[in-house]
Amino acid sequence: MRTAICSGSFDPITLGHTDIIRRAAACFDQVCVCVVPNAEKKNQMFTPEQKLELVRQAVAPLPNVEAELWPGLLVDFARRHGATAIIRGIRNATDFDAEQQMALINRNLAPELETLFLPAAPEYQYFSSTMAREMIRYHQPLENYLPIQIVPLVRRMMEEKQ
């Protein structure tokens, strides 16, 4: 069985993320989504547990995808799941540069893991979780940016914060 890892902080998970996960799920027997708490990122909107719940709801229609919270190194998560590949979505050259550096570090730590880059679909190249947080913060429509099944949950989580 061939297993791939898709990782991120997913604050929140967007349609761009789910597109990459869906495409990876079509290529691998199993995809494990690694939700990384990422304490270094500023202006986080959701707790790690909330992010995990949003991801699980978003990937629920994909039978060969599971999600888990992981505070450690991605290569350790990949080894734990017997993965052979790390899938990374790339929107632009800036993403590529950062992801290439991380891929080289991961290859040094775990030579058995391949990092595969999937280019973002054109309709998602301009959108990020940062932009999604702004849309949420200012009560804008979310259906074109977030998986439809998580929109009510995102709104409820935000109401509970207030």
Catalytic site residue 161? no
As a three-state string, the secondary structure of the chain is CCEEEEEECCCCCCHHHHHHHHHHHHHCCEEEEEECCCCCCCCCCCCHHHHHHHHHHHHCCCCCEEEEECCCCHHHHHHHCCCCEEEEEECCHHHHHHHHHHHHHHHHHCCCCEEEEEECCHHHCCCCHHHHHHHHHCCCCCCCCCCHHHHHHHHHHHHHHC
Cβ neighbourhood burial of 5 (10 Å; 0-12, 13-18, 19+): buried
Catalytic site residue 41? yes
Q: Of 2, 41, 137, 155, which is the active-site residue?
A: 41
Q: Of 7, 9, 17, 51, which is the active-site residue?
A: 17
Q: Of 9, 51, 81, 129, which is the active-site residue?
A: 129
Catalytic site residue 81? no
Catalytic site residue 56? no
Q: Of 79, 91, 107, 133, which is the active-site residue?
A: 91
Active-site residue list:
17, 41, 91, 129
